[in-house]
Structure 1
Amino acid sequence: MVNNSIVLITGGNTGIGFESVKALYASPQAHTILMGSRSVDKAKQAISTLQSEIADSKSEIVPLQIDIEDDTSIENAFKEVESKWGRVDSLVNNAGGAFDSIMLRDPSASGIREAWQKAYSVNVASTEVFTQQFAPLLLKSSNSRLLFITSGLSSLNTCAGGFMAKTMKASPAKGWPKPTTGPSMIAYRSSKTALNMMMLEWNRLLEVDGVKVFSISPGFLATNLGGAGPEHLKHAGAGDPSVGGTFIKDVVEGKRDNDAGKVIDKDGVQPW
């Protein structure tokens, strides 16, 4: 399958990452899908599940151990991909997380600091380090794409217009301290806004090399992001994660190339 497109998806064993792998595996186009996961065993379990659900595929899925907060793990993954495939056609920066619940459990300064630092470590700094390491393999491809999975909650325009999140209640009463009834996702939202700026810089850097760069806003979907659980999010109006997987598959397969350099969702372009 040397002629397959090589697609590397971090955090590919769960959530939207898993749904993206599934959509690509079910596609009539042939892909070699590198399922990035902190645990190879969990990746193998996810692959077994996919292969039991999709009996006939033109593609293959390969587990790849990758923890984007671990520089040694990133370097080892790079060496493996470089030696076996020599290029990456699509790099999907999906690994990420929401850690605002830390502040609910511990509203002290240390809890606030931990939540914000973890959000930026995973969603921003680690994503940047990982992309820096793998960028040379994107340049070895003749048709490459770089995707950053962002959020509808990252839009400054939308938040300035009054919308924060479907899971948030109305503005609190006057006075201090403010009652804490649920996570506002402010650390997560801010980190994804930073991720959009990162995307713009990568677009500036790689546009001359022909790499098409995107921020992908998959929508409000029922995953385990932030630990709330899919069922809770469904009750709040979240859609099925497969919607995000199909959208990411379409971008990987070139259906949104005219929107490179922008934050896009399945329906169009998301305002900044």
Structure 2
Amino acid sequence: MINSRTIATPLVVLVTGASRGLGREAALQLAAKGCRLWLGVRDLAGSQPLVDEVRKRGGQAELLQLDITKPEDIRSAFEKIAALDGRLDVLVNNAGVMLDGGWLGNTSLTVSGATLQQTFDTNFFGTVALTQALWPLLERASSANVVNVSSRMGSNAIHADPDGPLKGAKPFAYDASKAALNAFTTHLAELGRDANIQVNSAYPGWVRTELGSDYADLSVEEGARTLVELALLPAGSRTGRFEFLGEDVPW
């Protein structure tokens, strides 16, 4: 069991892609820990029930219109969080897309440039841009955590095993974007050490979401646990890791 930090005052947390799936569940679990949530969503009107549920769980919530591929949304997110809270304790980079047409869809020979670009726009470029923009708010916290929601599909080590669990499953756009996200984790973790900011990649497991399908092993509640545990790591715990429930995942 991973020890989480004791929350004396509400931690200020931004979860991207918070309207459904893992993002929604992670927000609810963090709400139960008493966090103050900024919920990054594309549909403000349709997300009001999530705000109500966060409050029922014991958290505080603010909605953010946040498409991380839009610079204007990123600027607005910074301005609103800075104005109301002045800092950010936790950033959960959960927003992502899978456009390959399924786990047995595009390969490295069949994927189109457009699919690659659109996938990287959200899963990598948008995530990097948002994190860069919010870094000053993370630096203002006494300590902070960045959680990049990755996948074992981004593990080059697992893919390189010719008889491994991902044999035959090579949706290239999604896999490459998550591998790039993992590189962002390791590089950013080095920069975060002097600022007391821990940066880790989370593998939620194979989860029964729209992306994971009904055949997956884990419920969304179980899948969100790794995100929440890394979000609540005490200062000085560990950084630059790729984990599933506290266990290392091969890069």
Q: How far has the Cα of 1:129 moved from its partner?
A: 0.6
Q: Is the 8 A contact 1:102 1:115 kept in 2?
A: no
Identity of aligned residues (%): 24
Work out whether residues 102 and 112 of structure 1, in 8 Å CA contact, stay in contact via their aligned partners in 2: no
Indicate the residue corresponding to 1:155 in structure 2.
155
Residue 184 of structure 1 deviates from its aligned partner by 3.7
Whether contact under 8 Å (2:102, 2:171) holds in the other structure is no
2:235 and 2:113 map into 1 onto residues whose CA distance is: 38
Q: Which amino acid aligns with 1:20?
A: A
Residue 86 (str. 1) matches residue 66 (str. 2): no
Quick one: which of 204, 221, 229 aligns to 2:190?
204
Q: Does 1:38 align with 2:42?
A: yes
Q: Which amino acid aligns with 1:65?
A: Q
Aligned mates of 2:136, 2:144 — CA distance in 1: 11
Q: Distance in 2 between matches of 1:241 and 1:18?
A: 9
Other structure's SS at 1:264 match: strand
Which of residues 5, 8, 12 is equivalent to 2:11?
5
Q: Distance in 2 between matches of 1:152 and 1:257?
A: 26
User: Residue deviations 1:202-239, cap 9 Å, x none?
Assistant: 111111111011011111111112xxxx6xx222x331
Q: Please, which runs of 5 or more residues in structure 1 have no aligned partner?
A: 172-182
> Secondary structure at 1:213's aligned position in 2?
strand
1:253 and 2:232 correspond: yes
Which structure 2 segments of 5+ residues have no match? Answer: 1-7
- Tell me the distance in 1 between the aligned counterparts of 2:172 and 2:236: 31
Distance of 2:194 and 2:103 partners within structure 1: 42
Q: Which region of structure 1 is more displaced relative to structure 2, 154-163 or 142-151?
A: 154-163
Alignment map for 1:159-198 (pairs within 5 Å)? 159-162=159-162, 163=164, 165=166, 184-198=170-184
CA RMSD in angstroms comes to 2.6
Whole-angstrom distance in 2 between the partners of 1:148 and 1:239: 19
**Contact 2:16–2:40 (Cα < 8 Å) also in 1:** yes
Alignment-mate amino acid for residue 251 of structure 1? L
- On the 8 A contact 2:143/2:196 being kept in 1, the answer is yes
CA distance in 2, matches of 1:3, 1:255: 14
Deviating beyond 6 angstroms after TM superposition, the runs of 4 or more aligned structure 1 residues are 102-107
Three-state SS of the structure 2 residue aligned to 1:212 is strand
Letter in 2 for 1:205: L
Hey, what's the Cα distance between the residues in 2 that align with 1:106 and 1:214?
Answer: 28
What is the SS of the residue equivalent to 1:238? coil
Change over 3 Å in CA distance of 1:117–1:103 after alignment to 2: farther
1:139/1:106 CA distance change after superposition, 3 Å: closer
Q: Does the Cα contact within 8 Å between 1:216 and 1:248 map onto a contact in 2?
A: yes
Match of 1:47 in 2: 51
Deviations 1:120-176 (A, max 9, x none): 1111111111111000000000021111110011111111113354xxxx75xxxxx
Picking from 11, 17, 26, the partner of 1:20 is: 26
Letter in 1 for 2:181: L
Q: CA deviation at 1:56?
A: 5.1
AA paired with 2:155? Answer: S
Deviation at 1:266, TM superposition (A): 0.9
Give 1:105 shift: 9.3
1:265 aligns with 2:251: no
Q: Secondary structure at the match of 1:258?
A: coil
Counting only pairs closer than 5 Å after superposition, residues 120-139 of structure 1 correspond to structure 2 as: 120-139=120-139
CA contact 2:15–2:92 (8 Å) conserved in 1: yes
Say if 1:40 and 1:257 are closer, same or farther in 2 by CA, change over 3 A. farther
